[in-house]
Amino acid sequence: MPVQHPSSSSSLSVTLQILSIVFYTFIAFICIGLPIAVLPGYVHDQLGFSAVIAGLAIASQYLATLLSRPFAGRLVDSLGTKPAIVYGLQGIAISGVLTSLAVALQGWPLLSLVVLIVGRVFLGIAQGLIGVGTITWGIAQVGSQHTARAIGWNGIASYGAIAIGAPLGVVMIDRFGYAMLGVTLLGLALLALLLIRKKPSIPVVSGVRLPFWSVFGLIAPYGISLTLASIGYGTLTTFITLFYIDRGWVGAAYCLSVFGVCFILARLVFTNSISRFGGYNVAIACMTIETVGLILLWLAPSATFALIGAGLTGFGLSLVYPALGVEAVKQVPVASRGAGLSAYAVFFDLALAIAGPIMGAIALNMGYPLIFFSAAVLSVMGLALTFGLSVRKLER
């Protein structure tokens, strides 16, 4: 089937094409969101393991995603985007079966935990495959000039799905018990597999494919900038509740809500600015706004100022990923686009992985307000690196 390019399509048509693909991201992240708030309680309260083990059970999924990124990118480039998404959905289905089995084995806590973690690993690999597969498919479908829009809508689908899935999982477990969790994952995966069967795929792009680590080296400067900016996201989402408690405030959940609303609104309204003003300019502007938000959180004399800081942080962070992503993808051949997107995603995974321990150590030794100052300093470093990359481009 010939690829439909934006030159012959309206903006609405392009968006609808992207939405028909990132729908599978939405399904995947609903499945990721459903267990996120309930599995720690299951491991700790039902199986009797410590909070540390409960945290490791959740973290096993993210580690699997991080480690599977090179494989996911190579699979997308060599077999195509649709097969990668299909494999990812099958991984979610397997995760659902294993989650149900783990609940059935609750009488044998250690065995139940092992089966549960294996299921989490399958879910993590599925996340990597579907995330890279949908973005690559979207770019190929609507044309590389709409890379920012494809990345932006994929992010909206993922964040929106987690925001829906997490509370839905809590309600579902309260009403139907943990056994329903695995059944729901399996059902959603099978539904998505049924829907994707007749969807026309994009032909595999021919050409020389670079080794993953060569692609990684080309992407690294942009990825490092992304990591430096994204640590602010990991810091806020991980520690805002403890920060509020430390300051004697209430309403940390509202802070997270304001952050999320501003993040999604900025992506909805301003994603097209990347194609108008360029990825570097948008990234620099957004990192500046994020830095101001983090400084407001650091200096906030009241919860009201913290809300404003969280909103600015969310607004600023929203377009950093797609803006830098547009410039990063330009560094690799089209035949290695999947590997490039996978390598780029590694740096976001890294930011979330290191934000907790680094900022936790700072909070322990210097207090919670200083974590936002530290995140602001890292954001400025990312801004400086991005500015340097933009200057280097102009000099070429």
Shared domain check, 118 and 224:
no
Last residue of a domain, one of 161, 196, 231: 196
* Pair 118, 94: CB distance under 8 Å: no
**One domain, residues 142 and 285:** no
Higher pLDDT, 121 or 201: 121
Residue 1 domain-assigned (yes or no): no
What are phi and psi for residue 48, nearest 5 degrees?
85, 20
Contact 340, 211 (CB under 8 A): no
* Residue among 31, 146, 48 nearest 97 (CA): 31
Whether residue 268 is found in the same domain as residue 147: no
State whether 191 and 136 are in the same domain. yes
Number of domains in the chain: 2
CA 150, CA 15: separation in Å to the nearest integer? 8
Whether 260 and 223 map to the same domain: the answer is: yes
Q: Does one domain contain both 180 and 223?
A: no
DSSP states of 163-203: HHHHHHHHHHHHHH-THHHHHHHHHHHHHHHHHHTTSPPPP
42 is in which domain, residue-wise?
A: 6-196
Kindly give, in sequence order, each residue whose CB lies less than 8 Å from that of residue 96, ignoring residues fewer than 6 positions away.
31, 119, 182, 183, 184, 185, 186, 187, 188, 189
Q: What is the pLDDT of residues 66-108, one digit of tens each?
A: 888 888 878 887 887 888 899 999 999 999 999 999 989 988 9
> Same structural domain for residues 120 and 186?
yes
By residue count, the chain amounts to 396
Q: What gap in Å lies between CA 297 and CA 278, rounded to an integer?
A: 29
Domain annotation covers residue 96: yes
Per the domain annotation, does 180 fall within a domain? yes
Between CA 221 and CA 389 the distance in angstroms is: 8
Domain-embedded: residue 206: no
Same-domain check for residues 254 and 135: no
Domain boundary among 164, 196, 228: 196
Question: Has residue 207 been placed in a domain?
Answer: no
Residues 308 and 189 in one domain: no
Residues 261, 337 within the same domain: yes
Please indicate, yes or no, whether residues 83 and 108 belong to a single structural domain of this protein.
yes
CATH number at 326 reads 1.20.1250.20
What is the rounded (10 degree) CA torsion for 265, 269, 274, 280? -40
- Which of these three, 144, 170, 196, is where a domain ends? 196
Q: Is residue 205 part of a domain?
A: no
Position 48 in a domain: yes
Instruction: Give pLDDT tens digits for 360-370.
Output: 888 888 888 99
Residue 180 shares a structural domain with residue 217? no
Q: What is the pLDDT of residues 223-237, one digit of tens each?
A: 999 999 999 888 887
Say which residue, 81 or 111, is predicted with more confidence: 111
The two three-digit tokens of residue 155, written as one number: 């992010």
pLDDT score recorded for residue 256: 77
Q: CA–CA separation, 306 vs 339, rounded Å?
A: 39
Is residue 388 one of the residues assigned to a domain?
A: yes
* Percent above pLDDT 90 for the chain: 29
